[in-house]
Structure 1
Amino acid sequence: MKIAILSSHTSSLFWFRMDMMKEFIKKGHTVIALGSEPEAEWKKKFQEYNIDYRQLYVERNGMNPLKDLKTLRSLYTFMKKERPDKVFAYQAKTVVYGSLAAKINGISEVYPLIAGLGSIFRGKGFKNKIVKTIMKIEYWAACKSSKKVFFQNQDDKNEFILNGLIQDDKTVIINGSGVNLEKFKPTPLPQEPAFLFIGRLIKDKGIMEYLEACKEVKTKHPQVRCLLVGPFDSNPSALKPEELTAYVDSGVIEYFGEQNDVRPFISQCSTYLLPSYHEGTPKTVLEAMAMGRPIITTDSPGCRETVIEGLNGYLVKVKDTQGLISKMEYLISNQHICKNMGEESAKIASEKYDVKIVNQSVMKEMGII
């Protein structure tokens, strides 16, 4: 079979979906990956894994209807020419327009993944309400055009059902994107306490809460390291470079930019933090768990599933900087707990989030044998 994988973010395709695409190929199928970045930059990288990469026109964060129409046209042309047997799509615009383009071309084997609902879907305000209404109509159309729809947490699934966007029997819950346990293995904890945040530098990820918590913690515990890995972003809520500069120049934060391999940085931390406002299931948390790190994250959709309170980490309220500081200081003063919590994280990652188990669930639902 010919299987198309659609995403509005090429690097996400390459780093987060590669294990799944390799499984499809191992089963003897052809995989075409579509993303937003130029073919000149990415085609050879995908070819190394026998995946055909195509550039798709899509503006990830824009709301220009003419540009979105161009995205639909681009996907329609692809579907008409390639006639994929099955389509797997994730991220809002490729889910919506990929599903519609497939339906127009008579392709019924479409399987979107709702990998977390963004700030617009859960936000408030008049403008947000208008955009949310449009998004709900688009998601309803996408779900109607799909055979099954994957969700990474119960909160997002319930949100769709509550809003009448999908029937329960069309939904499938999977345990995130999974984590490659052959690649992410437990490593020894550092001797000194160190915290790490990995992610796009956008406010919905809780980056400001992390920076402010680190600033407070460093005043009392100057020996503690606070590491930051991740790219700046075009999202409207993105952190500006000049906003980060003060934290770096004052020695609060050690910033390493975007990294293709996060394992060396996870190895340097004793605790992994992600104070995100909402997620599907955060991939970086799963990777940190697999490497034997305790987790401090928020009691929010997608995040709360990764932590058993007091066993492998702690949950704090969304936007609760003081709660974050409290847990950080507790682990600084009780470093012996980190080792036990890290071992529990690795155990949970192995039993629940092994990418092989997750991919088997996906392939079963998609009828890929």
Structure 2
Amino acid sequence: MRSIATTETADEGAHLADSRRGSRPKLLLVVTEEWYFVSHRLAFAVAARAAGYDVGVATRVDRHGAVIRDAGISLFHVDFDRSGMRPLREISTIAALFALYRREAPDIVHHVAMKPVIYGSFAARAAGVPGVVNALGGLGFVFSSTTLRARTMRLLARPALKFALSGWNARLILQNSHDKQTVLRAGLARPEQIRLIRGAGVDPALYSTSDVAAQPPLIILPARLLREKGVGEFVGAARLLRARGVEARFALVGRPDSMNPASFSAKDVAGWVADGLVEAWGWREDMPAVFARAQIVCLPTYHEGLPKSLLEAAASGCAIVATDIPGCRELVSHGKTGLLVPPKEVERLADALEELIRDPAMRARLGGAAREMLGDFTLDCVTAQTMDIYAEVANG
């Protein structure tokens, strides 16, 4: 792993940039966590490398460094802190990004999620990066929550985000039209800067179709164990269906996130398991195999850009139950490719799950239809659309 120097002079940085630049344009992706990069962006980074880019990723490195390097992606550690807003540490992160951009001299930086977008854009502008692509996969806790913490952070995030998105040669990728309208109403970006790309993409060839008719069905919720992912409603629906005498297995595929204030705890999960309501499968590296075992995928989330877990569910031919919100509606058409229910309504969620539990033929029909409509959501399609945006910023 390469360390980040923070003490180089401007002349030294320029000299290093000139000496290291080759014939391949240099692309640097910036994300907070390596596990997210591996699960959501590694396949894209490999595709970008095959398309002719020299690709690197700046992220907080923990356990997946070897996987990233083995894929031919340069790896740079940046100590992002997702859990709080300690001013000195946040300033240090921006300074580290600035030093990295000066030294590596990327032609394009691609920031993913709120903190990399804000901090990375500040650093990119100061370092003179020619092209900036910002991607928000949903507006997240800060813009959706009504808690005092979120409202306070929103007051700080709005002006910072507006400045970050206002670069002369910057593009903003959003995943659904609702988020686009929200950004435009708030005056955070200009219409000509915004591009819609629906999700991170999925390669259907990597996913085997599940045996959707199997009984009793396995219902999985594949996500971090956050309140805003609807984990509480999922557990509540499992409790209600058990009381109704409906036979099914419920599994949480994910783990608590101690750096997120909306996370359930390991103690919460252990209590649900002890009560016989759910199975806890934890973090899984082999998600295609997980989806191949499931008959129903449930995501009762409160807000999304466009969740990759639903793309993976569709690629596996699983029946889907999701909330009727922007992002989920991009993929799930009620009664055609899945079932949609109102957010935060446990009984309505239980009713939809019960309908699919009792009707294997319906599961097969919905799952098959979801797989057939994946054309616009494939990794190849998303990669091509993103490469077009890179070409835009490369040409100024």
With normalisation by structure 1, the TM-score equals 0.95
Cα distance, 1:126 vs structure 2: 5.0
Percent identity between the two aligned chains = 26
What letter corresponds to residue 47 of structure 2 in structure 1?
E
The equivalent position to 1:306 in structure 2, one of 321, 331, 340, is 331
> Which of 183-192 and 59-68 deviates more?
183-192
Structure 2 residue runs of 5 or longer lacking an equivalent are 1-24
Aligned to 1:50: 72
Matching residue of 1:163: 186
Cα distance between partner residues in 1 of 2:185 and 2:254: 34
Mapped to 1, the partners of 2:71 and 2:60 lie a distance apart of: 19
Separation in structure 1 between the aligned mates of residue 331 and residue 377 of structure 2, nearest angstrom:
9
1:225 match: 249
Which aligned pairs between 1:70-109 and structure 2 lie closer than 5 A? 70-109=92-131
For residues 202-235 of structure 1, what are the alpha-carbon distances to aligned partners after superposition, in whole Å with 9 as ceiling and x for unaligned? Answer: 1011110001111111232353111111011021
Per-residue deviation, residues 81-117 of structure 1 (Å, max 9, x unmatched): 1110011110111111111111101113000101111
Q: Quick one: distance in 1 between partners of 2:46 and 2:141?
A: 32
SS of equivalent to 1:144: coil
1:244 pairs with 251, 258, 269, which one? 269
> For the Cα contact (< 8 Å) 1:205–1:276, is it kept in 2?
yes
Aligned twin of 1:316: 341
Does 87-96 or 189-198 show the bigger shift?
189-198
Q: Deviations over 1:324-351 (max 9, x none)?
A: 01101111222210001110010122x2
Q: Would the aligned equivalents of 1:42 and 1:53 in 2 still touch at CA under 8 Å? A: no
Which residue in 2 is equivalent to 1:183?
A: 206
Secondary structure in structure 1 of the residue aligned to 2:330: helix
- Provide the rounded CA distance (Å) in 1 between the counterparts of 2:325 and 2:369: 21
Residue 385 (structure 2) aligns with: 361
Does 2:66 align with 1:66?
A: no
Provide the residue aligned with 1:266 in structure 2: 291
Decide which structure has the larger Cα Rg and report it: 2
Aligned to 1:215: 239
Does the 8 A contact of 1:87 with 1:109 survive in 2? yes
> For residue 138 of structure 1, what is the aligned residue in structure 2?
160
- Is the 1:9–1:35 contact (alpha carbons within 8 Å) kept by the matching residues of 2? yes
More displaced 10-residue stretch of structure 1: 249-258 or 219-228: 219-228
Per-residue displacement from partner, 1:124-155 (whole Å, max 9, x unpaired)?
25553332121111111111125211001111
2:6 aligned partner:
none
1:310 Cα deviation from its structure 2 partner: 0.4
Distance in 1 of aligned mates of 2:281 and 2:64? 23
Give the match's secondary structure for 1:273: strand
- Are the equivalent residues in 2 in contact too, given 1:215–1:247 (CA < 8 A)? no
**Given that residues 6 and 89 in structure 1 are in contact (C-alpha distance below 8 angstroms), is that contact kept between their aligned partners in structure 2?**
yes
Amino acid at match of 1:42: H
Check whether the contact 2:97–2:120 (CA below 8 A) recurs between aligned residues.
yes
Paired residue type of 1:202: L
Distance 1:221 1:142 in 2: 53
Distance 1:35 1:125 in 2: 28
**1:29-60 deviation per Cα after TM superposition (whole angstroms, max 9, x unaligned):** 2111111124xx43322121111111102101
CA displacement 1:289-335 (0-9 Å, x = unmatched): 11001111111221221111101111111111111011011112222
Q: Does the aligned pair in 2 maintain the 1:23–1:359 contact within 8 Å?
A: yes
Q: Contact 2:220/2:296 (CA < 8 Å) preserved in 1?
A: yes
1:22 equivalent in alignment to 2:46: yes
| 1:205 partner letter | K
2:174 corresponds to: 151
TM-score, L = length of structure 2: 0.89
**Superposition RMSD in Å:** 1.5
List, as ranges, runs of 4+ consecutive aligned residues in structure 1 with deviation greater than 3 Å. 125-128
Given that residues 43 and 52 in structure 1 are in contact (C-alpha distance below 8 angstroms), is that contact kept between their aligned partners in structure 2?
A: no
